[in-house]
Amino acid sequence: MIDLREQFRRQPFLMAPMAGVTDAAYRIMCRRRGAEMAYTEMVSVAGLSYKSAKTWVLVEPEPEEPQICVQLFGTKPEQFAFAVDAVQERVGEKLSLIDINMACPARKVITKGEGSALMKEPELAASLVEACVREARVPVTVKIRRGFAAGENTAAEFAARMEQAGAAAVAVHGRTANQLYTGEADWSTIDEVAARVDVPVIGSGDVFSAEDAARMLNDTAADAVFIARGIYGNPWIFGDARAFALDGVPVPERIALERIDALREHLTLLHATQPYMARARAFAGWYLKGLPHAAAWRGKVVRCTSYEEFMSMLDEVEADVVAFEAATADAACGADVVFGAGAAPAAACMPAAPSVFGASAPAAPGACRSAVPAAGGVADAGPSSPERV
């Protein structure tokens, strides 16, 4: 059985489970860049009990994946027991742990008494943990929230009950269920839970960058940190966070061409692991954020329907980035690349830095913009600077 504390000491930054996001393609992207422990999307124990083929697709890791953490949701102890046994048999030695979702605030989940609604029923929640522990040959963990209703703070008491039922670790998100993802996560909840339980505590909420992840690890009592929305367009975050938090290595900026290459890789993985590409429309936009003329490219992304169309579009994006950077460099040198009156020549001609994530290369006043894709009426960012979103 995996030693969670030892695992967390080695790599404390975990790829959190996210419905509609953490499929095999995204997990592999992050594993190749430093994620050691990765979770499935939320998996219905009812679906596994009914032997749904679509549900099993969410569970099974790809050959490249060395391990998997499977997150289950539901309300019936007997279905959890069946699911744990079935998952262990199907996944085998790659299974690191079973996690029970008691944190999802989605209305379609909580109206069935599942997800964060279980925080209103601690004894039922404990029975689910006990049912899993009886069958499991791996650790059983839980993910919870600060509370259910606005203003509630029941996380510490609830976590203690889950530990008593056999939970080997507790992940806690610092918002109540009613908050959904509005406002700010209260990281003090992590400390309150850690003070009540002896098992490892995983912090969660508002980790959008490697620096955020390191801050949560260093400033709270968390043994490990869930990174969720911080992976959007940034699969490097796990390696970056570890290097920054444990070794003091500054977080590098990702130039535009590096992000385009990563998007190509991600699209290829999705194409290889799923028979459809609709999910790519969301994550492609995350990678394109901050690139020159990003809004126009996103307008084109939503009309892509095949792998070939996505890849062809990326060739256009790359050509546009190269042209934009060249035009910016020429403008800085006083070259004749402007509309109307040219910019004053620079005292010394220096090559422009490549476009980087979250930062824009300077453009001379009135500088000529590079070609903008036809995007169904979506305007480009204008001649003076690339769009930043």
Active site residues: 104
Neighbours of 131 (CB within 10 A): 24
Nearest-angstrom CA–CA distance, 243 and 270: 28
> Residue 79: which of 117, 132, 126, 118 has the closest Cα?
132
Nearest-angstrom CA–CA distance, 208 and 161: 30
Q: Biggest alpha carbon distance in the chain?
A: 77
Looking at residue 365, its amino acid is P
Nearest-angstrom CA–CA distance, 42 and 69: 11
DSSP per-residue letters across 333-374: TT-S-BSSSPPPPPSS--PPPPPBTTB-----TTBPP-----
Residue 286: exposure state from Cβ atoms within 10 A (0-12, 13-18, ≥19): middle
User: Is the distance from CB of 320 to CB of 373 less than 8 angstroms?
Assistant: yes
User: Is the distance from CB of 34 to CB of 231 less than 8 angstroms?
Assistant: no
Tokens 């209260």, located at residue: 186
Residues in Cβ contact with 74 at an 8 Å cutoff, skipping those fewer than 6 apart:
44, 45, 46, 80, 83, 114, 128
Question: Which residue stretches of the chain are H helix?
Answer: 4-10, 24-31, 45-49, 53-59, 77-91, 107-110, 122-135, 155-165, 188-196, 210-219, 237-247, 256-273, 280-288, 294-301, 307-332
> Residue 302: which of 375, 368, 243, 247 has the closest Cα?
375
